[in-house]
């Protein structure tokens, strides 16, 4: 099966064009679309029609006009009726390299319409509303509704694998199979997956090539109806998808559904956690504090025989419950044993800390190293306080009390176990400097999957990802994970 244009190249251009439109954001707003339709029908098409055909073929319109023109061409039969017949001229293929040809189009536009900007800002759309709101389109196809439907298409095909050469080559093969299936089932409404739909769109926006190729392959111009969007059970879309799946399996002995080419749900606008420049700034800003550990006491640690031990104090940084760094601050000897006395910090500690991450004291008690002529024994852990239990106050404060219980080392299980050995800390914190910023790399800390039941009716629980309808009374058992 041969086509009049290189559909792999045109699919890449289609993705680049849709990405440029999506980046504007306001091109999806109703009044912006209505203004663009006015500029398309009343200004651009007459200008193109009055330009010699050889010169017109290389012209590229303003992006807002290009967007509604593109949407119009995705209804090939209506496009033919509205544009090609109305202007009595068969335009040459329009590509989507919208930078190419735009400079010459801009000059021609400004010479013809000196009071109408070539590129229109959002503010200028509002300023000109008295003109375009009083105007009514003569096109029979409702471009406004179609543009609002097409706004979600780029989200479906925006993931990186859609630009992968192998993925696109397979998509082109599946598009050919889709046309073969249509050739055999001319009266059946077939539903494409999104990889096929991308190639189909890239074909349609070259109307002359599309018409020629469709008539040679099918004997007629294949219509494209994007108004069928009801996915509920028993709907036309749902039933047609099931029919397409069965026919595909019968004719090609392959699955129709393709990973990465299926419906992703509506775009997550407003459904995911919102962010802003201010929130990002806060995420990488920090304040510095002078933290003083004025007092630290630990209850008597039972040990089988009197022995010298080291009490090592460290400060650890935590992020979302995960230890990121640990720095040793102070080491002090302590005599442990059956009749040992409680541990008391021998001097006040001064710490220069920032609040970029949570800070906590960590305490490790271990036997002191024994040295002699014949031996050099390794340290033996005795007790510890960690896991962020002694979290330091990263705000102006005086006389803060921190409490925790130490874990003791159990020689039999070779693990630390909970105990009633109390640890108390008195600390104060003074702000030194606020609002500092630093370079930061934003990343994701992977979570752990767990079994859960996801409510189908509470969308905020699962976000924009579509969920299949389950039979009444059946729980949606699945695995979930939270990444930070």
Judgement on whether residues 412 and 456 belong to the same structural domain of the protein: no
Helix axes 143-150, 63-73, angle to 10 degrees: 100
Domain boundary among 200, 232, 252: 252
Assess if residue 327 is contained within a domain: yes
CA-to-CA distance for 435 and 288, rounded, in angstroms?
9
Assess if residue 445 is contained within a domain: no
Judgement on whether residues 412 and 476 belong to the same structural domain of the protein: no
Judgement on whether residues 169 and 301 belong to the same structural domain of the protein: no
Assess if residue 433 is contained within a domain: yes
CA-to-CA distance for 39 and 72, rounded, in angstroms?
14
CA-to-CA distance for 311 and 323, rounded, in angstroms?
20
Judgement on whether residues 418 and 456 belong to the same structural domain of the protein: no
Q: What is the extent of the structural domain holding 455?
A: 450-480
Judgement on whether residues 108 and 245 belong to the same structural domain of the protein: yes
Digitized pLDDT (tens) for each residue of the chain, 484 residues in all: 899 999 999 999 999 999 999 988 889 999 999 999 999 999 998 888 888 776 776 788 899 999 999 999 999 989 988 887 677 554 543 433 444 555 678 888 999 999 999 998 888 998 888 888 888 888 889 999 999 888 889 999 999 999 999 999 999 999 999 999 999 999 999 999 999 999 999 999 988 899 999 999 999 999 998 887 777 788 888 899 999 999 999 999 999 999 999 988 878 776 666 677 777 777 778 888 999 999 999 998 877 778 888 999 999 998 777 888 899 989 999 988 888 889 999 999 999 988 878 899 999 999 876 654 445 557 788 899 998 899 998 888 888 999 999 999 888 888 889 999 999 999 999 999 887 777 777 677 788 888 887 766 665 555 555 556 667 777 778 788 877 7
CATH number at residue 386: 2.60.40.150
Judgement on whether residues 433 and 461 belong to the same structural domain of the protein: no
Judgement on whether residues 130 and 205 belong to the same structural domain of the protein: yes
Judgement on whether residues 238 and 372 belong to the same structural domain of the protein: no
Judgement on whether residues 69 and 23 belong to the same structural domain of the protein: yes
Give the number of other Cβ atoms within 10 Å of residue 1's Cβ. Answer: 13
CA-to-CA distance for 32 and 126, rounded, in angstroms?
8
Assess if residue 268 is contained within a domain: no
Number of domains in the chain: 3
Assess if residue 316 is contained within a domain: yes
Domain boundary among 252, 271, 302: 252
Judgement on whether residues 246 and 356 belong to the same structural domain of the protein: no
């Amino acid at each position: 099966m041969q086509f009049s244009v290189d559909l792999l190249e045109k699919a890449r251009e289609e993705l680049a064009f849709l990405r440029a439109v999506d980046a504007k954001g306001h091109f999806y707003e109703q009044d912006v679309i209505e203004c663009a339709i006015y500029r398309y029908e009343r200004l651009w098409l007459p200008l193109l029609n009055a330009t010699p055909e050889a010169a017109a073929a290389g012209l590229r319109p303003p992006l807002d006009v290009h967007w509604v023109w593109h949407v119009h061409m995705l209804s090939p039969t209506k496009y033919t009726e509205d544009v090609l017949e109305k202007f009595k001229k068969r335009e040459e293929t329009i590509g989507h390299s919208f930078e190419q040809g735009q400079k010459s189009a801009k000059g021609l536009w400004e010479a013809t319409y000196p009071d109408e900007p070539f590129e229109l800002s959002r503010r200028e759309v509002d300023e000109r509303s008295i003109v375009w709101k009083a105007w009514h389109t003569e096109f029979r196809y409702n471009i406004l509704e179609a543009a609002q439907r097409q706004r979600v298409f780029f989200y479906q095909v925006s993931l990186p694998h859609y630009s992968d050469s192998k993925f696109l080559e397979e998509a082109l093969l599946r598009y050919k199979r889709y046309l073969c299936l249509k050739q055999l089932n001319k009266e059946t409404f077939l539903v494409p997956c999104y990889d096929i739909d991308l190639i189909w769109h890239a074909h349609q926006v070259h109307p002359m090539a599309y018409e020629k190729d469709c008539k040679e392959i099918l004997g007629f111009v294949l219509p494209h109806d994007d108004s069928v969007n009801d996915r509920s059970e028993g709907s036309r879309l749902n039933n047609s998808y099931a029919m397409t799946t069965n026919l595909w399996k019968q004719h090609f002995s392959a699955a129709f559904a393709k990973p990465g080419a299926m419906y992703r749900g509506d775009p997550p606008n407003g459904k995911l956690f919102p962010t802003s420049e201010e929130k990002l700034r806060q995420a990488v800003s920090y304040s510095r504090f002078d933290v003083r550990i004025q007092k630290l006491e630990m209850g008597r640690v039972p040990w089988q025989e009197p022995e010298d031990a080291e009490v090592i104090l460290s400060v650890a940084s935590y992020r979302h419950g995960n230890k990121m760094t640990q720095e040793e601050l102070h080491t002090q000897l302590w005599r442990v044993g059956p009749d040992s006395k409680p541990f008391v910090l021998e001097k006040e500690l001064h710490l220069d800390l920032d609040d970029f991450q949570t800070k906590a004291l960590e305490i490790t008690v271990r036997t002191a190293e024994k040295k002699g002529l014949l031996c050099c024994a390794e340290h033996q852990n005795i007790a510890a306080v960690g896991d962020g239990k002694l979290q330091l106050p990263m705000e102006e404060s005086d006389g803060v009390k921190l409490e925790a219980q130490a874990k003791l080392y159990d020689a039999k299980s070779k693990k630390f176990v909970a105990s009633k050995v109390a640890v108390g800390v008195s600390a104060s914190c003074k702000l030194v400097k606020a609002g500092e910023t630093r370079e930061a790399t934003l990343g994701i800390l992977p979570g752990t999957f767990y079994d859960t039941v996801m409510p189908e009716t509470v969308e905020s629980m699962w976000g924009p990802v579509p969920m299949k309808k389950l039979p009444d009374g059946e729980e949606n058992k699945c695995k979930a994970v939270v990444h930070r």
